[in-house]
Every structure is written in C-alpha cells, then in structure tokens.
Amino acid sequence: MNASDASWQTPDTRPRTPGAPHILVRGVNWLGDAVMTTPALLRLREKFPEAHITLLTSEKLEELWMGHPAVDEIITFDTGESIFSVGRKLRRRGERTREPGQKFDLALVLPNSPRSAMETWLARIPQRIGYARPGRNFFLTRAIAPRAEFVKMQKRSVGEIRRLAAAEVNRRTVPVNRAFPSATTNAHQIHEYLHLTAALGARPEPLAPQLFVSPDEIEAAKKKFGLEQTTQPVFGLNPGAEYGPAKRWPVERFVAATTEIQKRTNCLWLILGGKNDAPIAAQIESALRPPPSALRNLSGQTSLRELMALLKFCRVLLTNDSGPMHVAAALGTPVVTPFGSTSPELTGPGLPGDSRHRLLKSNAPCSPCFLRECPIDFRCLNGITVERVVETVLEVVLATK
C-alpha cells in the first residue's frame, strides 16, 4: 500500500443513512494527546451514530486509529506538509471517497493552533468549530470560550523555581502550588476535548480513553518477537519521554528497580519505546546484564500497532509520563508512573481517579514546572525512591492476578 492509499482508509463499513452528516475532526499532533481525545470522539459517535466521521491526523499517528469505532476514515498529512497542501487535500476528499461529491458539513478542530483552524477554512468546510484563541477566530464559524475549570499548563520561570527551592531549604512557608488543581475539579485535559463535542450536543460526561487491538495482532506481535512460548509474567518498561529529560526518572533508578522486581517476580521485562528512546534503552540493557530469559530490548523495533499489541500483552507498564503511558492505559494495562515536571491531575493516564494506575509524585515545591529540562537539581524525580517504585509495581501486579 502506498502513502496516498494509506491516507484514505475507511475501516468502518456500517451503513450510513442518506443525508447523515459528514464530519471532519482535525486531530492533535502528539501521541499522548491523541489518546486523550478518544473520549470526545466516542461521545461524538454516540451523538451522531450514522455520521461519517473523518479524522485528519499526522502520518505518524495513523496506526493508532485503525479500526477505532469512533472513526470511519483517516486522512493523514506529512511532517512539513504545507497548510495549503492540506487544505487542497481536504477539498478534493469528495473525489476519493466511496461517495463521490460528498463534502464535509462540519469541522471540529481539536488543537488550539491558528494553523489547524486555517486548514479547515481553506477546505471551505461550511461549519468550523474550535476553541477561541488569538490568531484563529477569524477562521472559525463558532469559537468556543474556554471552560471555567480550564487550567493552563504554564511553565515556571527559572527564578520562580529557585525561589521555591530556597524556601523549602530554609524551611520558610512555601507558596501554594498554583499549578496543581484540586483533585475534585474537572481540570484534566480529556474534559477540554469533551467540552468541544458537547458544543455539538454530545454528552460531556467523561469516559476512559479507549484504544483497540485484536487478539490476532497480539499473537502476531508475540510471534514476531519470540514471545509466544513464554510462561513468565511479562512486564513493560518505557524509560523514554519525547518531551524532554525533565520527564524522565533517572536511568540508574530504572536499572535498580527493574533488577529488584525481576528478582522478586521472575518476570520478563520488555523495554519499549520509539527510535528516539533506543539510546536510553541500550543504556539500561547494558547496565542490567540479566539472564537472557529476563529481558528483551524492543525499543525502536516496533510499529505503532505492534507497540500497542505488546502493551496490551504486558501485565503492567513502568513508564515515564509519555505517549506509551497513555496508550497502555487506554488498552487496559495498568501503569506505574513517576511524575516530575508535569501534572497527573492535568494529563495523567486513563480516566482521572482510576485505581488501576499508580501515579507517583514527590513533595518538590517547584513541581510541576512544565519545563523540558530541570534548571536546578531535579528534586522532583530524585524524590521518588527506587523502593517506592518497586513496592508500587508489586502492589499492582498482585492486584491484577
């Protein structure tokens, strides 16, 4: 299948009522964010069961959506593809679908960027709905005001971080941590997307993010990577995080934790992640030096669908805050995640409050800072001990027997 064919898949074949709306959803660009949009898309499908829903998404995320019940059609764009090219592609869409001449009736724009709104304007879609933001409202026919519960993920300045750290050291009163919302609020990012679909009449009540892989895909992945005969409990390890080093629990702690867990469970660890995570994975593999039956380093070796299948196969995933963390949770696999520079209240995995997942934080007063790199001593993640992670993973494994 060539790239142009792959951009026009229609995995869902259920019949459509004549006159049912053709809806374009402009998807988000990051893996974890894309997973967090699935509740909104499922609510959109619930509201418009007969609609033809097309998702416009980055080519790197295409496999995430294959066979998803909320999506009928996938249109992809390449990294670096111009906004005008994407607009033309959307305008020509009616010539390449199963129903020639059917144009989009409505566009739901999930990202907040000016570009994403302008793409739908260039496509001449008559209704274009998204959040009101500077530089893009002209391109929308309906600009939705932010929710009252919206919490901006605002980066802390280096000066603020140093002041908070100094206050802690000197035992002075530490200011209230403005970045963490109350656990009782609906501040999680999934509500941002649900609020947009609610503007179309969909129910705003949250659902857990959901992804799907078939048993055949799981068996194929097990066979490809030599796992079909294993009788050990299989645990996943995802030590990378694309956003930056401030989200990564120290490598030496991953080594110590996985070594102790392996001794106590006789598990098989699968090191997972993308190509950019391969150096960290190799570092951990080299430091562990386990028996051959205790470790498989598959980082950078899987397609996205194969990664999904392996995450579904795992009993638990020990992971940084990352895209694979969200994917695993959406597939029903429990995750254990040390959080440092980011907020589990805003972007944690699964449905907020899901007890299957364990989200670990330290008491660092500067966390979350939302920075890519720590400007001081990395106390947020250094404050999460190996012993705490080991015991948490073992608790999760015991609970899933």
Mean pLDDT of the 50-65 span: 97
Phi, psi values for residue 265, rounded to 5°: -125, -15
Residue 76: strand pairing partners: 57
Helix, coil or strand: residue 162: helix
Residue 338: strand pairing partners: 360
Q: Rounded to whole angstroms, how far apart are CA atoms 314 and 328? A: 9
Contact 109, 120 (CB under 8 A): yes
Least confident of 98-102, 155-159, 261-265: 98-102
Is the pLDDT higher at 285 or at 38?
A: 38
Tell whether the model's pLDDT for residue 141 goes beyond 90: yes
Mean pLDDT of the 261-290 span: 90
Helix (H) or strand (E) holding 285: helix 278-288
What does the pLDDT look like over 148-176, one tens digit per residue?
888 888 899 999 989 988 876 555 434 43
Q: Rounded to whole angstroms, how far apart are CA atoms 387 and 392? A: 8
Q: CATH assignment of 3-146+188-198?
A: 3.40.50.2000
- 315's tokens: 């009993």
Give the pLDDT score at 74: 96
Tell whether the model's pLDDT for residue 20 goes beyond 90: no
Give the pLDDT score at 151: 86
Least confident of 1-5, 115-119, 127-131: 1-5
Tell whether the model's pLDDT for residue 279 goes beyond 70: yes
Identify which of 70, 28, 27, 14 has the alpha carbon closest to the alpha carbon of residue 210: 70
Q: Rounded to whole angstroms, how far apart are CA atoms 55 and 71? A: 7
The dihedral through the CA atoms of 56, 304, 32, 184 has a sign that is: positive
Mean pLDDT of the 334-359 span: 94
Half-sphere exposure of 213 (CA within 13 A, CB side): 26
- Asked whether the domain spanning 215-399 has the same topology as the one spanning 3-146+188-198, the reply is yes
How large is the angle between the packed helices 83-91 and 114-122, nearest 10 degrees?
A: 40
CATH fold of 215-399, please?
Rossmann fold (3.40.50)
The dihedral through the CA atoms of 377, 383, 387, 392 has a sign that is: negative
Domain locations along the chain: 3-146+188-198, 215-399
Tell whether the model's pLDDT for residue 178 goes beyond 70: no
The percent of the chain in helix, strand and coil, each rounded to the nearest 5, is 40, 15, 45
Give the pLDDT score at 232: 94
Identify which of 147, 208, 182 has the alpha carbon closest to the alpha carbon of residue 345: 182
Q: Letter for the amino acid at 187?
A: A
